[in-house]
Each structure stands twice: as structure tokens, then as C-alpha cells.
Structure 1
């Protein structure tokens, strides 16, 4: 009986033991889960590190892509400026080529005083003797020079404005505006000067006694006068281009700025741009005209090898003109003709440049939008 009564204790013991085992198993499971959690934690850190590295790689890739886009945009701007400047210069110079040839002929001749009647007689005689195409004689040399000259001038002006930070962030830097224009003129003139000399030589000769082609100009000068002659009058040109280009760009940009402040329109129409360019051309021509006379005299001067003064200086040329012709008939001879052709040429050049540039920019944006 007493043993039978002890059976429940066995059951209770078994139950208790089972409970303890369950508790032990549960505890073990919890510990294993905790251990698993502890083991998984480094994996999460590693994944997190990898995720951060991926973000950095994406950011680096984005920055490189942005830099590549900036470089591409800058190249596009340079190409657009080159094309626009070349077209503007070619159109402007072709338009006033007969007047330009007339002006150069009076500039280099001290025996014939300038007048509108004399200039018209010169045009009529040239037409009667050589035909209408003779009025554009030397224009091929002009195009060979003006296309790269205008392209370089307008493009370098954009770059000089950026380097000198002209009128950025709402500022009004008039001095830098003038310097940027002068540096653009020096840059373009320095890179194309021999072509300017060749154009002057062809303009003052006829096809029978002078130079027939641009190639012949360079060949004869090189053989008969020496290679240094190709740069005769260079410093007079540089000294003249500083006030000319500086005043021209300064006047044009200032008028556009004033127009924007008064009217509120950042892009004046073609007629307004033409008027602003004409004013800029008149101002630039007047500021630099005496040195233009000097460079033309030096460019067209034929000097023999045994002459005592093969390469006259700027001061010597200035003194000779003043002594023999005076100020009005010497230094400003043909200026009234320049007041006609200069504003026309510069007006066409500036307005054409702005028009073609805006059109090409819009075209490039449309093309880029289609690609994207």
C-alpha cells in the first residue's frame, strides 16, 4: 500500500523533470538564437559597409559624369563660338569689301587727297578697267584671314570674359569689359597677322602688275623681301587693336547691358543688335584710326635689300606722315569712309554672331534632348 501511494510522486518527479528538460531545451534554444543573432550582427555590419561603399561609388560616378558633361558643354560652347564668329566675320567683310579696298588705296597714297567724289571715281575706274569682280579683289585673302580671325576673336573674347570674371554675379566691371575686348583683339591679330599683310598687298595692286594669288604674295615676299616682312607693322597693329577691339566690345556689351536694365529684355532683336554694333564700330574705328594708317603704310612698303632702313619703326612712320601730310590729311585720311564701312561691318558682325550663336545653342539643346 505504501508503495502504491508513492507512485504519484514518481509521476510528479517525471513531470517535474520534463518541465526542467523543457525549460532547459527552451533556454538552449534561446541561447542558440542569441548566438545566431550575435553571429548575424557582423554580417549586417558587413552588408552595411558594402552598401556605404556602393553609395560612394555611385557618388563618384555621378561626379565624373557631371565633370564629363561640363567638359562636353564647354567644348560645345567653343565650337559654337568658332562657327558663329567665322560666319559673322565672313559676311561682314564681304559686304564692305569694295569700300575697304577703296579706303586702303587712299590710306597708302599721299599724293591724292581723300574725298567721297575721289572714292567714287576710284570705284568707277576700277569697274571700267577690270570689271565688277575687281571691286572684291583681295577678298579671297580677306576671307582666308577674317574667317580664322573673327572665329578666334569672338571665341577668345568669351574665354577672356570668363577668366576675368566680367560682369558676373550682377557686378558692373567696366574696366574688365574693356580689357577682355582688347585681349581678344590681340589674341586674334597675333595668330593671323601675315594674312592681314597679304590682304593689304593684294588690295593695293592689280592682277596684271601685282599679285595674282594669295600663295604668290607669300612666295614673292619671302624671296624678295625676307620672312621678317610678313610681320612688318605688327606692333603698330597690336597698339591699334587694343583701343579698337577694347572700345568695340566695351561699347557693344555696355549698350546691351543698358538696354537690358531699361527694357528688361536680355536678347535684343536683330535691328537693335545691328544698331549697337554700328555704334561700337564707329567708336572703335575713331579710337584707333591713326595707328591703322601707320600699319597700312608699313605693310605695303616695298623696301629693297640694300636700302639703309629696311624696317622703319612706328615712330619713324608717324613722324614721316606728320611731316609730309599733317594730322587731318595724314593720320585721319579716309576716316569718313571708315565711318561708313566700319559701323556697317561691325554691326553686321556683332548681330550675326549673336543670331547664329543663339540658333546653334538652341539646335544643340534640341539634339541633346533627343539623345537623352
Structure 2
């Protein structure tokens, strides 16, 4: 079953088609979930909670409570455009990430399939390793865009960086090249198990759902497989995502973001322990609900769009070949 799923995902044509389909899928997905992404980042950076009255003393920034409460607060204080803060670097991120991810995935899968016996791997293991490698590669190559997206989304009404170009110049001048890669360790540590679990789950679920007793119309078995795989894998690695966000806003501008009291963090392990010690499990999983709400449509739209765009391009190639 899983091996057949791997073959199905890789029955596309050229490497260029894979890159184009991945890029288009990333752009469409980003457009759909942009507001949820801003809400998630705001919640992840918040160290105080209304459920703990002591923690909101002397807090000068906003106090968000829940997905809807955060949405209403942003709309009231920053307007509709506040929900799309950081969208320019985010669109570039999703464009590049989607292309890198699917290209690396198919390349890794083909390499592993060429392994001779008795070293040949089962289809599920192939999917896990290929997904993890693709995630690590795409995360590293596009990480500066991810960091810029987080910093713009963390801005309130007071603009810290007046433009994308200004933010790049400021980080390069005051933090050096390493400033663009703050939290990369957490990003790779998160994305390797996440993408491995996601692709393995997706490849295993897609053929099962496609041949289920109650078939889903219009290719939505792809979307359903993407949703289930994404929710399970996202929950498993969420503390590392929170850690990454906290590390991305470190630096000389840390006290000027919408949350004025973001603690000083350093290192993946130390940040995890610091959040756990000061904020408990709630701190590590703050924003998980909106993250799952975001992950489900994002993954569903990504995989559905990828499959549809790839099918169109393959069909066009076949039609041109017949003429």
C-alpha cells in the first residue's frame, strides 16, 4: 500500500514540473492560512495568560486569549491588514519552500528506490526518510525568510522595521549573518520528524482513503489524507515550533515587539527548559489550537493543489506529445 502511494506521488514528469507544482501549492496554501499564521505567532510569543492573574501584572503589551480573542484584538487594534503582517516574506518563503520540499522529496525517494537488495527499504521507511530530508533541506535554504516572516508578524501598531529591505539591512548590520538563522536548530529538529511523519502518514493514508467504502468526490481523499497526517505530526513536534519562534525574535529589537516581555532565550534545549520551568506545559503548547486549524487547511490545500497542478502539466505534456 505505502509503496504504491510513493509511486503515485512520484508519477509526475520532469523535475521542473515537480518544482512548479510545489511552488504553486505553496503560494495558494499561504494565501489561505495567512491570518491564522499571524494569530499563532502572536500566541506563541505570549508568555502571560489570563488564566494566571499573577502573570499579567506589569504587562504593557496585549494579552491574548484564544484564537477568536486574538483575532478580534488584532482587527480592533491594527485593522484587517494586521492579519497579513509578514505576508511578503511569507509568500516568498512558501514559494521557495514548496519548490525545494517536493524536489528534494522526489530526488531522495528515487535515490532510495535504487538501493540494491538486501538494502532496499520498505515504502513507509522510504517516505519517512525522504520527507525528513526534504524538510531539513527546504527549512535550511529558506530559513531567513521564515525569520523575517516571524519578526514582521510579531510587530504591533508600532512598526519596528519600516520595510523588508530595511529589516534585512538592520539584521545584517546589528546581528550579522548568524542573525538570519536564529533558531535554525529548533527548525531542523522540528521539521525532520514532522515531515517524515507527515509524508509517511500521507502516503499510507491516501490509497486507503481513495479505496474506502465511501469514496470521497473530486479528489478530496488527497485533502483528507493531508489533514490527518498533518494534525498528528504537528501535535507531536509543536514544542519545538514554539521554541523556534521564541528564538527568532531574539536580538536587539526583542523588547520592541507587540509583546514587550519576551524573555531572553539562547539555545534549543535551554529555551525548552526555560519555557517549561516558567510557563509549564501550557507555554510549550500555547497556540496549538490555531496551529492545528492552520495546519489542516494548509496541508490539505497544499497536497490537493500539488496533485491537481501536476496532473494538468502531465496531461498537457501527453497531449503535446501526441500532436
More helix by share: 1
- Structure 1 position 257, deviation (Å): 3.4
Partner residue in 2 for 1:196: 146
What residue is the counterpart of 1:134 in the other structure?
Answer: 82
C-alpha displacement at 1:172, in angstroms? 4.3
> How many angstroms does 1:281 deviate by?
1.2
Higher relative contact order (CA 8 A, sep 6+): 2
1:33-92: CA deviations, max 9, x gaps?
xxxxxxxxxxxxxxxxxxxxxxxxxxxxxxxxxxxxxxxxx9951111111111111111
CA contact (8 A) 1:166 1:173 kept: no
Distance 2:12 2:300 in 1: 27
Contact 2:49 2:64 in 1 (8 A): no
SS in 2 for 1:326: helix
Q: Pairwise CA RMSD of aligned residues?
A: 3.1
CA distance, structure 2, for counterparts of residue 181 and residue 97 of structure 1: 24
Conserved 8 A contact 1:101-1:203: yes
1:365 counterpart residue number: 318
Aligned to 1:164: 112
- Using the size of structure 2 for normalisation, the TM-score is 0.82
Correspondence 1:237 to 2:198: no
Larger-Rg structure: 1
2:219, 2:65 → 1: CA distance? Answer: 32
Distance in 1 separating the partners of 2:217 and 2:129: 24
How far has the Cα of 1:163 moved from its partner?
0.7
Contact 2:45 2:245 in 1 (8 A): yes
Q: Is 2:294 the counterpart of 1:344?
A: no
- Is the Cα contact below 8 Å between 1:247 and 1:287 reproduced in 2? no
Q: 1:116 to 1:252 in 2, by over 3 A?
A: farther
Task: Name the CA distance, whole Å, in 2 between partners of 1:171 and 1:222.
Answer: 44
Q: How far 1:129 moved relative to its partner?
A: 3.0
Q: CA deviation at 1:357?
A: 0.5
Deviation at 1:165, TM superposition (A): 1.0
SS of equivalent to 2:44: helix
Question: CA 1:205 to 1:90, structure 2 compared with 1: closer, same or farther past 3 Å?
Answer: same
CA deviation map 1:260-304 (0-9, x unaligned):
6767x9x98432111111111101211211110111100012348
2:4 corresponds in structure 1 to none
8 Å CA contact 1:106–1:112 kept in 2: the answer is: no
Tell me, in whole angstroms, the C-alpha distance in 1 between the residues paired with 2:236 and 2:115: 24
- In structure 2, do the counterparts of structure 1 residues 179 and 207 end up closer, same or farther at CA, with 3 Å as the change threshold? same
Count of residue correspondences: 291
In structure 1, the residue matched to 2:124 is: 174
CA contact (8 A) 2:39 2:67 kept: yes
Matches within 5 A, 1:147-158: 147-158=95-106
Match of 1:292 in 2: 241
Unaligned runs of 5+ in 2: 1-10, 52-62, 254-263
State the partner residue of 2:256. Answer: none
Partners of 1:246 and 1:165 in 2: CA distance: 16
Gaps of 5+ in 1: 1-73, 305-309
